[in-house]
């Protein structure tokens, strides 16, 4: 059973999410919060597995709440917003969110997103994956894993991390395809592999490169010139 905390400043939105998730046998909605500060309190108290987090809220926004929840290792956070803006994408991911999904996604995608994040995988909506890649290529913002860096100038290619040499040829190939924004299913089709095999390769390369999730793999692939 995956325990879920809903965080949104609109009660009707929270009710809608609760209705969608509560009909699933493997979800339990354990609480609701209307702002980021309350979300942190309830996360500490209720210890949910997943926090569905809105971005723009009173008292404390969802980005700061995500940052604090992840820093304390309280739960995984899936950011949900109507705002398809770069700053929300980058700031949410930099804060440690495990996924980013637009609120206009249908119920099926919402349910699948929660299951994906609960299983320990990072999740990006297709729009977000494209945006991350475009920004990496443009060099407008090239750090999702550390402090904010200066925008505007294209970064020089960085030295490859030591872990890159530990990758097998197939793992390196998978990393390159992850960097282009392909899903596991698309990579499996491209390389004529089973999807389970691709998942294993992705897990192995993340471990060898000491990366938190797929988002960081996309960033790394671009920063060292694999893509």
Same domain for 91 and 29: yes
Q: 95 exposed, middle or buried (CB, 10 Å; 0-12, 13-18, 19+)?
A: buried
Residue where a domain terminates, one of 90, 124, 158: 124
Q: Which letter does DSSP use for residue 129 in this model? A: H
Residue where a domain terminates, one of 61, 92, 124: 124
Same domain for 151 and 115: no
Same domain for 6 and 117: yes
- pTM value surpassing 0.85: no
In a 13 Å sphere around the CA of 166, the CA atoms on its Cβ side amount to: 11
Please report, for the domain that includes residue 83, its CATH number. Answer: 3.40.50.2300
Same domain for 94 and 145: no
Range of the domain at 88: 2-124
Same domain for 23 and 98: yes
Q: What is the pLDDT of residue 140?
A: 46
Residues 6+ apart with CB under 8 A from 28: 1, 2, 3, 4
Same domain for 187 and 93: no
Q: What is the pLDDT of residue 155?
A: 45
Same domain for 136 and 118: no
Same domain for 80 and 141: no
Same domain for 201 and 139: yes
Same domain for 135 and 99: no
Residue where a domain terminates, one of 124, 147, 176: 124
Q: How many domains, in total, are found in the chain?
A: 2
Q: What is the pLDDT of residue 37?
A: 95
Mean pLDDT by 10 residues, the chain (227 residues): 94 92 92 95 96 92 93 90 66 79 83 84 63 58 46 48 86 89 84 92 91 77 79
User: Taking a C-beta distance cutoff of 8 angstroms, is the pair 37, 64 a contact?
Assistant: no
């Amino acid at each position: 059973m995956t325990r879920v905390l809903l965080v949104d400043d609109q009660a009707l939105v929270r009710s809608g999410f609760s209705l969608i998730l509560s009909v699933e046998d493997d979800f339990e909605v354990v609480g609701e919060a209307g702002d980021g500060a309350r979300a942190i309190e309830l996360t500490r108290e209720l210890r949910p597995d997943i926090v569905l987090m809105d971005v723009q809220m009173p008292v404390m926004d969802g980005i700061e709440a995500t940052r604090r929840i992840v820093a304390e290792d309280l739960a995984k956070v899936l950011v949900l917003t109507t705002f398809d803006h770069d700053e929300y994408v980058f700031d949410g991911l930099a804060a440690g969110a495990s996924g980013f999904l637009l609120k206009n996604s249908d119920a099926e995608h919402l349910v699948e997103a929660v299951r994906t994040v609960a299983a320990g995988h990072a999740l990006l909506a297709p729009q977000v994956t494209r945006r991350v890649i475009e920004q990496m290529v443009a060099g407008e913002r090239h750090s999702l894993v550390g402090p904010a860096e200066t925008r505007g100038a294209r970064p020089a290619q960085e030295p490859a991390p030591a872990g890159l040499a530990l990758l097998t040829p197939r793992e390196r190939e998978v990393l390159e395809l992850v960097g282009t924004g392909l899903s596991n299913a698309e990579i499996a089709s491209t390389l004529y592999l089973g999807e389970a095999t691709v998942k294993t390769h992705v897990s192995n390369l993340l471990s060898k490169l000491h990366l938190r999730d797929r988002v960081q793999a996309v960033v790394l692939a671009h920063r060292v010139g694999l893509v």
